[in-house]
Amino acid sequence: MAITIAGQGDIRQRLNNDGLAALGLAGPLLSPVWTQALPVANVANFSFTVAAQWYAPLAGMLITEPNPTGLGLSRLDGTPWPTTTGNAVVFRIHPQARLRLERLMVSNLQPANAAPPDRSIRPVPAIFLITNPGMTFATPWIANAGEQIMPVGDVTMYDEHGLAIDPFAFAAALAAIIAGTPAAGGPTPAGAPAGTLVAIAGLVPAGNFVHAVDLHGRPWQDPPGVNAGISLYTAGVAGAAPIQSQHIGDGLVYAFPTGLTIAADADPSGTQSALTTPALLRFGWQVQGRLNNLPVSWPAAGPQTPARDTMRLAVCDPTFHLLGNITLTARDGVPGADVRTNASQASILREGSPITLLPESRSALGWIGQVILNLQGGNPAAAFQTGPMFAASSYFDLGQWPFPNIPGPNGAWPIAPAATPVPGNDASVMAALAPLKTAVANWIAGSNDVLVTLPAGLPAGVAVRFYPIQILMGVSPDEQPLLRRSDGNATITTGAATDTVRLADPFNLGSDVVRPGGTTTLRMDAALTWLTAASAVPRVKLMGNLHLTVGADVPAPQLPPANILAAMFWRGTASNPMIGAPSRGPFPLAAVLGDPIAFIQGVVRHLSTDANPREAPRLPTMSRNESLFALQLQPGAAADIYRSMLTGAWLTREADAQSPRLANPGGAGWHEVHAPSLVATSQIGFDLWIAAAHRTRPVVPTADVAQAFQTGPIAGLPTNWVLLQANATSVPPTPPAAPSTIAAAVLQTVPAYVETPELAIIPDTDIAAAVNWVTTQLGNWASTPNDPELHRQIARELRSSNYGRRDAQWALRRAIAHARELIYIETPLLAHTTHDAGPPQDPAAAVDLVNALANRLTIEPRLRVVILVPREPPFVTGYEPFSAFFFANRLEVARTLALAGGMVDGLNGQRPRVVIGHPIGMPGRPLAIRSTTVIVDDVWCLQGTSSISRRGLTFDGATDVALVDWQIDRGASVTIRAHRKALMGQHLGVGPTPVGGGVPVNSVGAPAGDWVRLHQPVSAHEVFADALAAGSNRGKLLPLWSGPDPAAPGAVIAHPADVADPDGRGGASFVTTLAAALGGSSVV
């Protein structure tokens, strides 16, 4: 077969003959005429009606849409459009043509050298919708610019987020572009048609117009109160205050006369600083730019000025946006909170704190390690001094593993530790690794651990991770694997005969040293990861079914020195054995005595100790899921003295995990763990430091309180969080000198009676009594410059001890109620967040976020949901009734959301609007999700440890950070969208560059197609829906598992909701219910 190849001359001739039309669908050629006769304009609805076939404005595809409501398009008032059934026709602009058009808009309508050159501050259409069409298309039809094929009907236009665009302003913009760039204009059709771009733009009033929306794209609604919204203002005379011209608070489109500004009614001059008054409204252009509290003028003109111009303004009330509705009355479709929440201190809103979102936990450790190394002057063996330093975790190990000291890719394999390239193709490398099958295994004396010694001569530079095979007895094959790759350990080969791997109790023999009789065979699989060259894509292979006979005892190998987590500073644990933490031992769960509060105090104190590590107060079965590492530098060490980290990973070797899909090469990782993290300095760093102080130190000394350290980095510092802060250094910091674009707040989840049980006997309104009690207990608390802050913390502790806190619940309810495009959730637990059994006394305190989400799916047809949850709940062997409850309730959640969401048409067929799946690390190693991440429309993010369950939002202790980035790009907060893409890319094995694990190198260096699709919320959902639908991506995602069959013989009986998923205000009632369920005594 002959193939004709076009040469440069052929291409040049085609461009000379056809101009931009030579680019076809991807070209930005614009038709100067839309209609033969003028259409009928409806400016109030941003629409026009055409009575005859009209000309395609630019190249695109005409597609018949039988369910146009499923497109998720919104009218100006925020309601879905269209509201009627029946066919419509969609004219879809090619994405590359749209990008080229956007560049033309920037170069013609914005000032010279506007940056970025491909980001218009004006909304750009992605699709046209033609309702009541005069004709439809049996198959998609290509329409070239100026081709008279567009069907009659009612025409509206929408951007990539489904938001309505002013078609008359768009016509005026295209007329201006053609005037400035004539080559962009196509030929004028014959017959002097009336519907030119200029004429269509002239059907409605000329000038500048503005439409105000919230960050989700919904019509802006004024906050309650006086002077709480925004208005158009004229300048005052001779320095006087600006004069209000037109209030903007109802979601309508308003004229924006020349010389006026838009400003907040509470501060029309913009003289207040958002750094010191973070609750001020923020506003700015919704498509591109930065929101702040300064008056907004109409954008500077470019080379061309359109006759009509309509901009979209984003407006945000940061308090409402981040914290939710914690008032007593409904606001903008969000119900009010309960009386006790409303009377509590709200979380403090912070502006400008430098915050970094990290997609995994090794980077969080590396960030802390870098801080410590700086204090050591670059010498990791040097001593150092600092102010109060705290670490909190469910539990700690001995810390005998290398602690990273650089965050991000530079602090992980193949950079740190540095990879030694292993040349050759896959077959030759695997052949060189075949001697692994001859490795030698021996018992380690005094333990049930096994030492595996690798043979000499293996290629150096291969990361080897062994997974002992665990046999699950008595489990049917249709429920879960009979064989499982359990936790192992790893090394990187040197080629010498001294390479060893220590496996911790691979036979699950327990704490007593046991030597089974006869021959003991260790069965393992091995993950092998290497680089063929310094810049190559990592290769990862599995070597299965290794059988090693375990030989006689050998001395234990020398362990590496303990890392920073074992240093002498204040630490806090929360040993809930349900999740695998060391047990505090059994204790009686007796009936409530005459004083329920005293009874609860006794139970809580039985589970706690104020030694070091401090065993934080908790209720039976309660976890404290946050892991915190925070320190205060010594006075004068820096202008900003706070360094804090938050993650869901336990501060053990499991946190040293970055690339589970590559078998975590070079890491000490233990479980297959996914734990997105957050690090912060400045004011948010201070707030997390306070949270860590409260977790690791008591408010006052108790009988078993640890004594001050005599040596080490915090030698001589006090032992309780009051005296630790009773100094001028701990006064809350001022805003950062170089603020970030992020606003954030630290949220807390904790049940009643737990924070300081003794404070629960003091009326929650008697702050003076609480301060007097603390003063009396301390005995030596002298007045300090930090007294106001300490009194604030004591007041908060008092109410938290009485009623608990459920901050994340209120924040999530608001975000869900306003979601339009995509809710992305990663959570350790998934269940309804209210139940009929064991509710709080005040029904207003209970919120079922699952039902709220189902309701939002019904209201907003554009909304998609992606939920990633571990295949199994985080409860260990012995707590199967808790797992059984969550299996059943998770399935109920899935059914509720599936029914509400239904199906939606995608590029590859119909897909569910709600996708729920289980991410995978290495094959056969389901991923344990430790942190909770919720991202809504790329403009709201919750990063922390409050899981989506009643337990997770009201009962288990947790810390979260809710944040928004005011830097907007294509309608999204830049930081939040980047975080979502990084998380999704980890699970899918894609990134801006090849990430290894079998992903082939792209021949032109382009990113993987799925990585590109992750940029937009709707297409990101499609990637996950396609992955689960295809069935060929089971190495990345598993479909929702319903759990073991509850009807099988001998099946575990699930605990009731008030035991397995309790409410945090259950108190003594919860403990007695738990006692009845557990038979009166248990390890909890």
Q: Residue 997: what pLDDT?
A: 46
Residue 385: HSE in the Cβ half-sphere, 13 Å Cα cutoff? 10
Q: Are residues 925 and 1046 in the same domain?
A: yes
985 pLDDT exceeds 60?
Answer: yes
Give pLDDT tens digits for 516-530: 888 999 999 999 999
- Alpha-carbon distance of 335 to 844, in angstroms, equals 9
Q: DSSP assignment of 200-266, as one string?
A: HHTTS--EEEEEEE-TTSSBP-PPSSTT-SEEEEEPPGGGPPPEEEEEE-SS-EEE--TT-EEEETT
675, part of any domain:
yes
At 768, list the tokens: 């003076």
Vertex 837, ends 833 and 843: CA angle to 5°?
65
Shortest CA distance to 233 belongs to which of 291, 306, 286, 283? 283
The span from the CA of 526 to the CA of 489, in Å, is: 10
- Give dist(CA 950, CA 833) in Å, integer: 4
358 inside domain: yes
Residue 627 burial by CB count (10 A; 0-12/13-18/19+): exposed, middle or buried?
buried
Q: Does residue 42 share a domain with residue 92?
A: yes
In terms of domains, do 836 and 980 share one?
A: yes
Q: Which of 745-749, 823-827, 986-990 has the lowest mean pLDDT?
A: 986-990
CA distance 951 to 934: 17
Backbone angles phi, psi at 899, to 5 degrees: -65, -40
> Residue 27 above 90 pLDDT?
no
Cα–chain center distance at 636: 35
> Of 721, 742, 763, which residue is a domain's last?
742
Higher per-residue confidence, 60 vs 609: 60
Stretch (H or E) spanning 126: none
Query: SS3 for 9-30, per residue?
Result: HHHHHHHHHHHHHHHHHHCCCE
* pLDDT at 73 (0 to 100): 97
The candidate with the shortest Cα–Cα distance to 171, out of 200, 205, 210, 206, is: 200
Phi and psi at 684, nearest 5°, equal -70, -35
Question: Model confidence over 311-359: pLDDT tens digits?
Answer: 999 999 999 999 999 999 999 999 999 999 999 999 999 999 999 999 9
**What's at 575, amino acid-wise?**
S
**Alpha-carbon distance 329 to 316, whole Å?**
19
pLDDT of residue 825: 98
3-state secondary structure of 761: helix
Q: Is residue 475's pLDDT more than 60?
A: no
- Same domain? 195 vs 285: no
Same domain for 66 and 165: yes
- Whether 901 and 1009 map to the same domain: the answer is yes
**Is 342 inside any structural domain?**
no
**Could you tell me if residue 667 is inside a domain?**
yes
**Domain end among 554, 573, 589:** 554
Per residue in 255-270, pLDDT tens? 999 999 999 999 999 9
pLDDT-based confidence at residue 996 (cuts at 50, 70, 90): low
Q: How far is CA 539 from CA 390, 423, 982, in A?
A: 39, 11, 21
Count other C-beta atoms under 10 Å from residue 875's C-beta. Answer: 23
Residues 6+ apart with CB under 8 A from 702: 610
Q: How far apart are the first and last CA of the chain?
A: 75
Which pLDDT does position 477 carry in this prediction? 46
On whether both 386 and 432 belong to a single domain, the answer is no
Q: Other C-beta atoms within 10 Å of 843: how many?
A: 9
Residues 54 and 172 in one domain: yes
The angle, 0 to 180 degrees and rounded to 10, between the axes of the packed helices 787-803 and 682-696 is 60
Instruction: Give the total number of structural domains in the chain.
Output: 5
Residues of 729-745 as b/e, b for ≥16 C-beta within 10 angstroms?
Answer: bbeebebbeebbbbbbb
The more confidently predicted of residues 10 and 768 is 768
For residue 416, with 0-12 CB atoms within 10 Å meaning exposed, 13-18 middle and 19 or more buried, which class applies?
A: middle
More confident residue, 475 or 500: 500
CB-CB contact of 91 with 130 (8 Å): yes
Please check the confidence at residue 23 and state whether its pLDDT lies above 90.
no
Domain termination residue (choose one: 304, 322, 340): 322
CA distance linking residue 819 with residue 812, whole number of Å: 10
Residue 560: predicted pLDDT? 86
In whole angstroms, what is the distance from residue 847 CA to residue 335 CA?
10
* In the predicted structure, residue 639 carries a pLDDT above the cut 80: yes
pLDDT in tens, 181-236: 999 999 999 988 999 999 999 999 999 999 999 999 999 999 999 889 999 999 98
Triad 177, 183, 189: Cα angle to 5°? 90
Q: Give the pLDDT confidence score for residue 559 in this predicted structure.
A: 85
Residue 690 has pLDDT above 50, yes or no: yes
Q: Which domain holds residue 496?
A: 426-554
Given a cut of 60, whether residue 761 has pLDDT beyond it is: yes
Residues 999-1036 pLDDT 10s: 444 554 567 888 999 999 999 999 999 999 876 556 78
pLDDT of residue 18: 63
Q: Hunting for tokens 């070239």 — which residue is that?
A: 144
Which amino acid would we find at residue 567?
A
What lies within 8 Å, CB to CB, of 266 at 6+ separation is 227, 228, 280, 281
Give residue 940's identity as a one-letter amino acid code: W
DSSP string of 806-821?
Answer: EHHHHHHHHHHHT--S
pLDDT of residue 998: 42
| 597 close to 760: Cβ distance less than 8 angstroms | yes
- If asked whether residues 590 and 675 sit together in one domain, one would say yes
Whether residue 7 is contained in a domain is answered as: no
Per mean pLDDT, which range of 73-82, 643-652, 666-675, 989-998 is the poorest?
989-998
Q: Tell me what pLDDT residue 891 has.
A: 98
pLDDT of 481 > 70? The answer is no
Q: What is the pLDDT of residue 589?
A: 59
Question: Rounded to an integer, what distance in angstroms lies between the CA atom of residue 248 and that of residue 281?
Answer: 13
Asked if 924 and 985 sit in the same domain, the reply is yes
The backbone region for 545, taken as left when phi is positive above 0, alpha when psi lies in -120 to 50, beta otherwise, is left
Note whether 259 and 216 are same-domain residues: yes
- Please report whether residue 767 resides in a domain: no
If one compares 148 and 1008, the residue with the highest pLDDT of the two is 148
Mean pLDDT of 407-413: 93
Report the pLDDT averaged over residues 489-501.
93
DSSP annotation of 480 reads S
Give the strand pairing for 864-868 and 914-919.
parallel
| Residues 940, 944, 950: CA angle, nearest 5 degrees | 95
Q: What is the pLDDT of residue 1082?
A: 66
Q: What is the mean pLDDT of residues 956-974?
A: 97
Confidence bin at 476 (pLDDT 50/70/90): very low
pLDDT of 115 > 90? The answer is no
Tell me whether residue 771 is in a domain. no
| Cβ-contact 529, 669 below 8 angstroms | no
Cα 531 from chain centre = 31
Q: How far apart are CA 865 and CA 300, in angstroms?
A: 39
What is the C-alpha to C-alpha distance for residues 805 and 796, in angstroms, rounded to an integer?
Answer: 10
Q: Are residues 219 and 193 in the same domain?
A: no
Q: What is the DSSP letter of 162?
A: S
Q: What is the DSSP string of 652-716?
A: SGGG--S-GGGT-TT----S-EE--EEEEEHHHHHHHHHHHHHHHS-SS--TTPPPPPSSSTTTT
Q: Taking 80 as the threshold, does the pLDDT of residue 994 lie above it?
A: no
- pLDDT of 947 > 60? The answer is yes
Position 167 in a domain: yes
Report pLDDT digits (tens) over 284-295. Answer: 999 999 999 999
Q: Count of CB atoms within 10 A of residue 899's CB?
A: 12
